[in-house]
Amino acid sequence: MNLDEALQTFIAESRELLEEMENALLNVDLAGDQSEAINAIFRAAHTIKGSAGLFSLDHIVAFTHVVESLLDKVRDGSVTLNDEMVVLLLSCCDYLSGMINGLAAGQHEQDPDTAPEGEMLQQQLRRHMDGEAAPAAPAAVPALHAGPRVERIDAERGDSDYWHISLRFGRGVLQNGMDPIAFLRYLGKLGRVVGIATVPDALPPPDEMDAELCYLGFEISFDSEADRDAIAGVFEFVQDDCEIRIIPPHSKVSEYVNLIRALPEQRARLGEMLVRCGSVTQQELDGALQRQANRDQLPQDAPVQQLGSILVGAGNVAPVVVEAALAKQKQVSEQKAQESRSIRVDSDKLDRLIDLVGELIIAGARANMIGQNLHNAELLECTSILTSLVEDVRDAALELRMVKIGATFNRFQRVVHDVARELGKDIGLIVDGEDSELDKTVVEKIGDPLMHLVRNAMDHGIEPAEARLAAGKPAKGMIKLNAFHESGSIVIEVSDDGGGLRKEKILAKAIERGLVDPERKLSDSEIYNLIFEAGFSTAEKITNLSGRGVGMDVVKRNIQALRGSVDVGSREGQGTTVTVRLPLTLAIIDGFLVQVGASVFVIPLDMIEECIEYATEPGQDYTNLRGQVLPLVRLRSLFRIAGAATRRESIVVLKFGTQRAGLVVDTLLGEFQTVIKPLSPMFSEVKCISGSTILGSGEVALILDVAALMRTVGGKGALSLAA
């Protein structure tokens, strides 16, 4: 990997770490146990700082060092994390994101325009560090001595009752921004340091000493109820820069099992695991290995004894300990194998792959048509196999582009936090269905529409705390994001438990603006969906978030551009739910070909419920399907296709969400793998068409927009949309 590639990897990983840091800050429990969240925040800051140092990005290192210093004080308990500090650290995340974005744009030095903001943030960080009275140094950490003298603090108990920690810091630990003494102080939070000896044996002669290097080691006797994993976790951030050996006190077998399960995740032989956790001594292990090596003296048909069996037989260790160690080995091996199978792939390469698969599908359809025209059985068999393989390649290629929507949902934790503070409201966010997958292109383009829906729900939907309490609701309002798969689409719901939409007010505003006929009777759904009309707003006052009559129409337009639909439902006084329905992919779909006159159209196969042959009356816009009224859409009249309709027509029954409609066509041509080609901008206003595709014959077929077709059956039935 060259330097440019390594820098791009640093940028990508830094963005991921900042996202993790932000999520940890937003989810930290200020009233409860913060240790896990604080460690996650500290880990992210430390990793960014260390990696930035490799590229000599001094401005990033300097800023992150101050953030890390404050977090270190929070970790050791000398500073208490509060809401003001969370907001400050979130601002630091934003500032770091700006520096990373600048780096991606080629800016390797501090931006003079943003330097004052960075200095201001650093001053606030230092104020928090200095503003809290630091507690007295733990009595368990005595002054460190230059010589190897051991200072006993409690001589009443035997050494065997304590943990023993042998610690040798690496030479570059200071250069990496780590303070060895800070780790010893933090160790005091888990228990009591009974004795400590400073080991200066590695110190060079004074004239050869480098002030930036660390030469010290420590031998520590430690009294604690913590387990090995917790003690090792104290040195988590320097584990690559030092050597740590932890010897446990006398323990029960059950505690040995816990120690084995808590071993660091690295490949190790069974014997080394047992020695490391103190289950056996090195002498016992050497003896067991010697007996295993002497197996050649046994008869040839004698079974080979494993090390675990020898140790158990010799009485050195209980069987349950060996079983735990073997389970740990298997778990580590599987995890390492899983990690080695993951690689980063540039998204442009995936896009190129999808384009090539699309061309392969078109070429395969052409070959299949030639085989049918020639009536060549061998060629037809080959094209059939080719079609099957292309389908598998298509599915595999599309699966590579599928990503979980959870990453998009997590962005809204910060939005809700910041907007709630701006509005002076107490609002929480519930996320569900974050494991639902869809095409990365859809994920990238749906973020902004969802952002507006969430902000709108917070501003318009959630009432102030006083109004909620008066209505018998909790003072804290809730926004819920939910995602799930349904009929080949992904459905995303943005819900709130606010005051709901007021039908009368919406209808009055729509009549006032001439959007609807005062005499026309509208259903509740039609009234609610008026909020998506251009320039429509019922806000009584204009805020920074809403009330200017722009936004919701843009949301609808952007979602429809993704071949999706948006709908709104509400109950006054109880809340509102906006439902967004999107295709899983924008590249390749399974389609169903139909023909009207000389024109061929493609319908997404997932939207089709059934196909029936039916004799309809000319001009009739509905039919009776098994006792249910089915509204009809006649493509011939919709697109003004020349020619007379056949006496016996075919009806394709479509289902989109909760709506059903029948599409009247002349001929059913069957299934067809469809490569979606976008229409040129000059056709962007054509309704009921979402794209085009190329058939095996080389002809172009138009892909129908099912959501738009469903809208034509509302009100007075099918409308003529051709101009």
Long-range contact list for 43-49, CB < 8 A, 24+ apart?
Answer: 43/236, 43/237, 44/17, 44/18, 44/20, 45/21, 45/71, 46/177, 46/237, 47/13, 47/17, 48/14, 48/17, 48/18, 48/96, 49/177
Spatial separation of the C-alpha atoms in residues 7 and 2, rounded to whole Å:
9
Nearest to 214 by CA among 162, 171, 273: 171
CA distance 642 to 122: 73
pLDDT value, residue 493:
93
Average pLDDT over residues 512-532: 82
Top-ranked range on mean pLDDT: pick from 95-99, 326-330, 681-685: 95-99
**Threshold 0.75, pTM exceeds:** no
Is the separation of the CB atoms in 621 and 632 below 8 Å? yes
Which CATH code fits 347-401? 1.10.287
Query: Facing residues of 608 across strands?
Result: 654
- Most confident by average pLDDT, 91-95, 107-111, 362-366, 502-506: 91-95
Neighbours of 692 (CB within 10 A): 18
More confident call, 153 vs 32: 32
Q: Any bridge partners for residue 165, and if so which?
A: 220, 246
pLDDT at residue 578, rounded to an integer: 93
Task: Determine the pLDDT at residue 328.
Answer: 58
What integer pLDDT is reported at residue 306 of this predicted model? Answer: 55
CATH 3.50.50.60 corresponds to the domain 588-712? no
What are the residues facing 651 on neighbouring strands?
612, 664
Query: Looking at domain 3-131, does it have CATH number 1.20.120.160?
Result: yes
What average pLDDT does this structure show over 679-694?
Answer: 78
d(CA 144, CA 202): 16
Give the pLDDT mean for 6-26.
Answer: 87
**Which residues belong to CATH 3.30.565.10 in the chain?**
403-583
Instruction: List the single range of 171-175, 284-288, 599-603 with lowest mean pLDDT.
Output: 284-288
Report the alpha-carbon distance of residue 408 to residue 402 in Å, rounded.
13
Q: How many CA atoms lie within 13 A of 424 on its CB side?
A: 4
Residues in the chain: 723
Residues contacting residue 327 through CB under 8 Å, at least 6 positions apart: 261
- Confidence band for 576, pLDDT divided at 50, 70 and 90: very high
Q: What angle, rounded to 10 degrees, do the helices at 35-54 and 58-75 form?
A: 160
Packing angle, helices 406-423 and 440-456, rounded to 10: 20
The CA–CA distances, whole Å, from 540 to 460, 514, 553, 722 equal 10, 19, 19, 39
pLDDT band at 680 (very low <50, low <70, confident <90, very high): confident
Report which residue type is found at 701.
A
Q: Above pLDDT 90, what percent of the chain?
A: 6
Confidence label for 601 from pLDDT (cuts 50, 70 and 90)? very high
* Rounded distance between C-alpha atoms, residue 653 and residue 445, angstroms: 30
pLDDT in tens, 616-625: 666 677 888 8
Checking if the pLDDT of 175 tops 50, the result is yes
At residue 260, the pLDDT reads 39
Strand locations in 460-549, DSSP E? Answer: 477-486, 489-496
Q: Which residue has the higher pLDDT, 347 or 650?
A: 650
What integer is the mean pLDDT of 487-503? Answer: 87
Average pLDDT over residues 404-430: 86
C-alpha distances in Å from residue 272, one per residue of 280, 282, 325, 326, 491: 9, 9, 10, 12, 52
Average pLDDT over residues 256-267: 39
Q: For position 598, what pLDDT does the model report?
A: 85
Helix (H, G, I), strand (E, B) or coil at 101: helix
Region of 88 please: left (phi>0), alpha (psi -120 to 50) or beta.
alpha
The whole-number average pLDDT for the span 170-198 is 76
Rounded Cα–Cα distance for residues 161 and 158 (Å): 6
Question: Is residue 488 packed enough to be buried (19+ CB in 10 Å), middle (13-18) or exposed (0-12)?
Answer: middle
In the predicted structure, residue 643 carries a pLDDT above the cut 80: no
Percentage of the chain with pLDDT > 70?
76
From the candidate CATH numbers 3.40.50.720, 3.30.565.10, 3.50.50.60, 3.30.470.20, the one assigned to the domain spanning 403-583: 3.30.565.10
Pairing assessment for the beta strands 700-704 and 599-604 based on DSSP bridges: parallel
User: Is 7 strand, coil or helix?
Assistant: helix
pLDDT for 378 beyond 70: yes
Residue 343 CB neighbours (<10 A): 5
More confident site: 149 or 282? 282
Query: What 8-state DSSP symbol labels residue 460?
Result: I
Residue of 443 and 1 predicted with greater confidence: 443
Reply yes or no on whether the pLDDT at 701 is more than 80: yes
Q: Is 518 exposed, middle or buried (0-12, 13-18, 19+ CB in 10 A)?
A: exposed
Structure tokens that stand for 354 in this block: 């999808």
| CA–CA dist 689, 683 (Å, integer) | 9
Q: What is the pLDDT of residue 717?
A: 38
Residue 356 confidence (pLDDT) above 80: yes
> Predicted confidence band at 374 (pLDDT cuts at 50, 70, 90)?
confident
Please tell me the least confidently modeled range out of 9-23, 329-343, 604-618, 627-641: 329-343
Where does the pLDDT of residue 482 fall: very low under 50, low under 70, confident under 90, or very high at 90 and above?
A: very high
* pLDDT of the residue at 84: 87
Going by C-beta distance under 8 Å and a sequence separation of 6 or more, which residues neighbour residue 227?
255, 258, 259, 262
Query: Is pLDDT above 90 for 496?
Result: yes
Question: Which uninterrupted H or E stretch holds 271?
Answer: helix 270-276
The pLDDT score that the predictor gives to residue 580 is 92
- pLDDT on residue 95: 92
* Per-residue model confidence as pLDDT tens digits over 59-116: 898 899 889 888 888 887 788 888 888 889 999 999 999 999 999 888 888 888 888 8
154-166 confidence digits (pLDDT tens) = 433 333 466 777 7
In the block, residue with structure tokens 């940028």: 11
pLDDT at 592: 92
Average pLDDT over residues 465-490: 87
Tell me the pLDDT of the chain averaged across its residues. 76
**Amino acid of residue 346:** D
Strands 622-625 and 628-634: antiparallel
Cα 60 to Cα 107: distance, rounded to the nearest angstrom: 12
Three-state secondary-structure class, residue 451? helix
Go through 620-659 and write b for each residue having 16 or more CB atoms within 10 A of its CB, e for each that does not: ebebeeeeeebbbbbbbbbbebeeebeeebbbbbbbbbeb
Is-contact 602 672, C-beta < 8 A? yes
CA distance 250 to 227: 13
CA separation (Å) from 329 to 266, 277, 289, 318, 332? Answer: 9, 14, 18, 17, 5
Residue 436 has pLDDT above 60, yes or no: yes
- Do 603 and 702 contact (CB within 8 A), yes or no? no
Within the chain, all domains assigned CATH 2.30.30.40 are found at 588-712
Give the pLDDT of residue 253. Answer: 37
Lowest mean pLDDT among 266-270, 338-342, 707-711: 266-270
